Structure 1
C-alpha cells in the first residue's frame, strides 16, 4: 500500500473557499433588526466570535437559546434560497488534493457548510470541524489542532489557508504554516500572502504533494 500523505491542508470555509460575505451580512442584519440592534456593530462582533459569544456581547440580557434559534432559522433559509459562489480555483483545488490530505475548519455548522458546498458543487471531505465540535473557537488553536488529530497529522505538517485574522491566529497558535488568501493586504502573521485563492492553487497543491500541481492555476 502507498503511504498516506505526509502534508495536510486545512481550509477555512467562508471567505476562503465560499464567497458568503453578502449572505452573512444579510442574515446578521435581519437577526439584528429583530432585536433592535445596530446591524453593522452586530456583524463586526459576529465576524470574530462564535454565535453564542456574539449573543453574550450584543444581547447579554436575552436568552441565548432563543437567539440561536432565531439565527439558525435565518441561516437555514439562506442556505435554501440564498445565492452562493465558490471562489475561482476552489473546485479545481479541492478536486486535485489527495484523499485524506485535507479538512474543513469552520466557525459555522457542518450541515450549513454541506448545503453551501452542494449549491456550489464543491466536494466535502470526511473531516469537518465545525462550531459544535469544539468548546473554543478561533482564534483558539483548538479547532485546527482537532482537525490535525482527526487526520492523523502533526501540526508542523499542516498548512492552514485562511482569510481572516482570527483564523490566522488560530493556525499560528496551533504551530502550523499559515497562508492568507482573498485579501488585498497580508493579514498579520501569515507566512505567505496571496491576493486570491486562485493565485494560491499551484502552491497549495505543491505543498500537499498533489500530482500535476504546476498545471493547475
Structure 2
C-alpha cells in the first residue's frame, strides 16, 4: 500500500489511556446514576460531549455542558498510567525521518488530548485535530477530512490508523485508506480496511516515489 500521509487516532492507537478513561467515566456514571458498563461500551472513539448527550437525554444543554466541563478537567489532569503503545514512538519517528507528513486526529478535547500526548512523551505532530475543531465527531468523516486538508493532501492519499469502531467508520467515510489496530472484530466496515493488525509494531515503512510504501513485517 502506498500513501503520502498518515492520520493517527490518539487514545487506543498511539496511547494507552484506558485506565484513566475508565476511572473518569466510571466515576461520572456513578455520579449521574448511569450503568458504568453501558457507558464504557459506548464512549470509545466518540467525543465526550456526544456520549454525555446520549446518557443525559432530556437534560438541558447547559447541564450537559456543565458535566462536560467537570469531566474534561478530571481527564486533563489524571494521566496516571498513560503510556505510549508498542510501536508508536518508532513509527512516528520513522515518518518524521522520512519527511512524511502525519497528524493526530482525536475525538478528545485539546486539554485532554495534549495532556495524554505529553504523558506518553510522543513526538510533536505537524497537525493536531481535536474535538473543538469539527462540528461532527467520529463516526462522521469531518475530523479526518480536516486532518488531510491541514496536511495539504487528498483524503485518498492518506492512511487513517484507528482502534475504535467509530474511527474506522470515519476513516472509511472520508475516503482514506484505513489501518485498524486492535479494532473490535464486529466493527462495521472492518472487511474494507487495508490492514487489520494487533500492533503498530507489525508495520514496515519504506520511502517510495509517491511518499511511503506500507507493508507488514
Same fold (TM over 0.5): yes
- Structure 1 partner of 2:118: 118
Q: Which residue, out of 83, 86, 108, partners 2:84?
A: 86
Is the CA contact (8 Å cut-off) linking 1:9 and 1:208 kept in structure 2? no
Q: Equivalent residue of 2:198, what SS?
A: coil
Please state whether the residue corresponding to 1:178 is helix, strand or coil. Answer: strand
Distance in 2 between residues matched to 1:179 and 1:74, nearest whole Å = 31
Q: Report if aligned partners of 1:182, 1:197 keep a CA contact under 8 Å in 2.
A: no
C-alpha separation in 2, matches of 1:89 and 1:126:
19
Tell me which stretches of 4 or more aligned residues in structure 1 moved more than 6 Å.
204-207
TM-score of the aligned structures, taking structure 1 as reference length = 0.85
Aligned counterparts, 1:125-204, within 5 A: 125-183=125-183, 185=185, 187=187, 188=190, 189-200=192-203, 202-203=204-205
**Which segment is superposed worse, 158-167 or 175-184?**
175-184
Structure 1 residue matching 2:11: 3-state secondary structure:
coil
Structure (1/2) with the larger strand percentage: 2
Does residue 95 of structure 1 match 2:98? no
Question: 1:170, CA displacement in angstroms?
Answer: 0.6
Unaligned runs of 5+ in 2: none
Shift of 1:121: 1.6
Equivalent position SS for 1:97: helix
* CA displacement at 1:100 relative to structure 2: 5.9
Q: Deviations over 1:70-90 (max 9, x none)?
A: 2112212313xx111111111
2:207 and 2:15 map into 1 onto residues whose CA distance is 18
Matching residue of 1:44: 41
| Aligned CA-pair RMSD | 2.5
Given the two structures, how large is their TM-score scaled by the length of structure 2? Answer: 0.85
CA distance in 2, matches of 1:191, 1:144: 17
CA displacement at 1:50 relative to structure 2: 1.8
- Residue deviations 1:90-134 (CA, integer Å, cap 9, x gap): 111111113461001100022322222222221121311111100
> Tell me, which stretches of 5 or more residues in structure 1 are unaligned?
1-5
Equivalent residue number for residue 109 of structure 2: 109
Kept in 2: contact 1:171–1:178 (CA 8 A): yes
29, 32, 44: which one aligns with 1:32: 29
